Amino acid sequence: MKKMKRVLSIILVVAMVFSIVGCAKTQTPEEPKVEAIFKPGTYEGEADGFHGKIIAKVTVTETEITDITVEHTETAGLGDKAVEKIVLGVKETDSLNVPMVSGATYSSTGILAAITAALEKAGADIEALKNKEVEGAKAAEDVEKTADVIIVGAGGAGLAAAVTAHQNGASVIVIEKMPQVGGNTIISGSAFNSADPDRQATLEMTDLEKKTVEGIIAAEQTDPIVKEWQATLKTEYEAYLASGKTTLFDSPTLHKLQTYNGGDKQGKPELISTFTDNTLPAIQWLESLGMEFKDSVFTVLGALWNRSHKPVKPLGTGYIETYMNYIEANKNDIEIMVDTTAKSFIVDNGAVTGVNAEFGGAKVTLHANKGVILAAGGFGANVDMREEYNTLWPSLKNVKTTNQSGATGDGTVMAEEIGASLIGMEYIQLLPMGDPVTGSLSGNIEQGVQNRIFVNKDGNRFVDEGARRDVMTQALMKQTDAYMWVIVDQHSYPTGDTKNNFNETIDDLVAAGRAFKGNTLEELAAQIGVDPANLVNSVDTFNKAVDGTVSDEFGRTLFADKIDTAPFYAGARVPTVHHTMGGVEITPSAQVLDKDGNIIKGLYAAGEVTGGIHGTNRLGGNALADIAVFGRIAGESAALAK
């Protein structure tokens, strides 16, 4: 469009030159004057994005948008891609008639609003720009391709599978229905659980933690595999005590038992064993690819133990960038196809041999020489599907979700259509940590379990803040308006530019009204509208439990620092749908099972699309470990299939 405009301008100039040097008496008809739609200049507009203010500076001539520069703090790999795509669309079309970017609605809305505000200052007819007809793109054509391994879904599990399949000699095609890679991984809090002797060596074992381990060893179990775990843990723990060590005890065996017990013993022991035995190797593999984790570990919400690893890069960007760096370096063998929606599996003599998909209305037929990996994620963003399977919670119709909009269970439906077994579909995880407006984890001010408490609208604590996620959410739902405040102090935010787990500084959150700051607890109470005496009492009794003066009234065992150093901070949270534990049933080799327990040849699965690992409740920090472990297993299994 713009090239055509420039060509026309050159033609007009040439025509004018010839009219001047030609016969002066000869008059040529004047070209029709193009009506001005902007007042030339550079204008600034501002609007709210997902993570804060978006500022757009728009430069225009009388008829054209020539430049747009943007300042923002949107999520790397997701929100920033939406900003880039919409800016490009506005510049190319000289209009506001550009589509939202799927999965990044808030960022899309924010950048369009900021550009609109700038163009209003330029005197533009905004409605005309919104309704301007734009020339359509060239229609997509049907395509047919073949690779050794076809992967459905470009989130953390799918990309881990792609890298591993290639490392095992396979060519790979990955399809993703969204316009960008990353899935839920890229917007996650990034915690990755694993026993890790080196990083845990700086932590001291508390008496309460010792009691926790002893209780797990002594608990009654019926499954023979789990009994073997207990016997192994007993041996490991006795050796630890005999060594005289005082640092934190941990092992894959303890991780197994906490995962199993934390899911009400509904997870499949053989899957849990494969999972926890491979978490540390998965971290080491990621590090071999260039990913960096911090040297210390912490306890993420609902993790139950101090084994959560945190990447150096914010959110889940480190995982996705690591995978994509490898894929870019091997792009001749690994192809990523975005905006490509899987529709059905190709089945030949009972074996899955490919995928039927669509791109822009055209057919995409993909053939797999060795295998197909399903890594399409869960169904947390599909309200109807949640309602269909939910039997454990009140209606979830009006509950927001932390998930990106593409988590709609398409892959689960595809698998069921060819006879795959589904397991644990009723197990839907809610968190007590949703943003009251968006339902996302963004804005959460907690840095870890040990240094914060929850209070309700009266200023009173109501639950063990180190408990399972479902236990905390159930307790929150019983509070007024199912609404709570997270309370922390300077131990969590030594300076105003200290960032939370979602790359947001506490000063920015306070400035945006998403968090509140007080130099005293009474001052903080006044700002958030809770009874100051109740808040002071809640903090005081918590602090006594920290130093062991009293036992915690809710049975909490995970502590670090007292909440006793100003400034004090508060952030509001509500229940939100976070994870779907149910899905396609798999073997420890990530092969998909049918309803009769037989392996469906050629089909593998990994990540949240699978079920049977986490039982009724997933431990915090186990998801990213799960998708890396089983993504790797699926990639290797498919690549080496015969």
Would you name the residues annotated as active-site residues? 469
Q: How many other C-beta atoms are found inside a 10 Å radius of the C-beta of residue 437? A: 13
Q: How many other C-beta atoms are found inside a 10 Å radius of the C-beta of residue 232? A: 16
CA neighbours closer than 13 Å in the CB half-sphere of residue 326: 22
Task: Give the DSSP per-residue string, 417-454.
Answer: HTTB-EE-TT-EEEEEEE-TTT-SSTT-----GGG-EE
Task: Give the DSSP per-residue string, 350-404.
Answer: TEEEEEEEEETTEEEEEEEEEEEEE-----TT-HHHHHHH--SSS--TT--BSS-
Strand partners, 484: 573
Question: Distance between CA atoms of 125 and 39, rounded to whole angstroms?
Answer: 11
Backbone angles phi, psi at 231, to 5 degrees: -65, -40
Strands 568-580 and 484-488: antiparallel
Mapping DSSP to helix (H, G, I), strand (E, B) and coil, where does residue 534 land? Answer: helix
Question: Distance between CA atoms of 169 and 164, rounded to whole angstroms?
Answer: 9
Strands 568-580 and 428-434: antiparallel
The secondary element (H helix, E strand) that includes residue 126 is: helix 126-131
Question: Distance between CA atoms of 325 and 323, rounded to whole angstroms?
Answer: 6
The secondary element (H helix, E strand) that includes residue 532 is: helix 532-546
Side chain identity at residue 470, one-letter code: D
Mapping DSSP to helix (H, G, I), strand (E, B) and coil, where does residue 142 land? Answer: coil
Side chain identity at residue 585, one-letter code: E
**Integer-rounded Cα radius of gyration of the chain:** 28
Give me 604's structure tokens. Answer: 């593998």
Mapping DSSP to helix (H, G, I), strand (E, B) and coil, where does residue 161 land? Answer: helix
Backbone angles phi, psi at 55, to 5 degrees: -115, 125
Mapping DSSP to helix (H, G, I), strand (E, B) and coil, where does residue 295 land? Answer: strand
Token pair 């049975």: residue? 555
The secondary structure of residue 556, as a DSSP letter, is -
b/e sequence 185-196, b meaning 16+ C-beta within 10 Å: bbbbbbbbbbbb
Question: Distance between CA atoms of 453 and 546, rounded to whole angstroms?
Answer: 12
Q: What angle in degrees, to the nearest 10, is found between the helix axes of 622-639 and 279-288?
A: 80
Which residues are CB-contacts of 564 (< 8 A; sequence separation ≥ 6)? 489, 539, 543
